[in-house]
């Protein structure tokens, strides 16, 4: 079987395989949000600034997976969708930009979490004063806004 000439191979990759992966990813990210929020509630005494980054990352991943289903999988599932005006407007003005925004935001949130952990290890005394919960939430909001 020559996969380069076969037209069913992209359909198999984008519809059943990627749909299963996306739904599993959405479910696992929801589970991750519940776990990290419970960790944040149980850790009252210390500064748990990494958990909000991971919760924000899970939200970005869910957004990316949902928009991947809408932007990439849906047109392959039903090719009639591509010919509608409403879907083309959605794709051009909202779907594709949102997909890329969630992708870029997840990269920036990983970088922000890594820098947070590095600051805690490199400067243990000063980082406790700088990385407060308010500053962590502000950093996450600014990261999402810039993305």
Q: Per residue of the chain (147 residues), give pLDDT as tens.
A: 555 556 676 777 777 888 899 999 999 999 999 999 888 888 766 556 788 899 999 999 999 999 999 998 888 888 788 888 999 999 999 999 999 999 999 999 999 889 888 888 888 777 777 777 788 888 888 888 888
pTM value is: 0.84
Q: Mind spelling out the 3-state secondary structure of the chain?
A: CCCCCCCHHHHHHHHHHHHHHHHHHHHHHHHHHHHHHHHHHHCCCCCCCHHHHHHHHHHHHHHHHHHHHHHHHHHHHCHHHHHCHHHHHHHHHHHHHHHHHHHHHHHHHHHHHHHHHHHHHHCHHHHHHHCCHHHHHHHHHHHHHHC
């Amino acid at each position: 079987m020559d996969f380069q000439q076969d037209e069913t191979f992209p359909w198999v990759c984008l519809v059943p395989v990627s749909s299963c992966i996306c739904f599993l990813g959405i479910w696992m990210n929801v589970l991750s949000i519940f776990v990290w929020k419970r960790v944040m509630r149980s850790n009252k005494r210390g500064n748990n600034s990494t958990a909000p980054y991971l919760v924000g990352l899970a939200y970005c991943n869910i957004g990316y997976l949902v928009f991947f289903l809408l932007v990439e999988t849906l047109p392959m599932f039903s090719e009639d969708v591509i010919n509608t005006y409403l879907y083309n407007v959605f794709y051009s003005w909202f779907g594709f930009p949102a997909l890329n925004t969630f992708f870029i935001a997840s990269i920036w949130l990983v970088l922000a979490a890594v820098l947070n952990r590095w600051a805690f290890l490199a400067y243990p005394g000063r980082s406790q004063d700088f990385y407060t919960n308010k500053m962590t939430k502000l950093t996450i909001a600014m990261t999402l806004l810039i993305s």
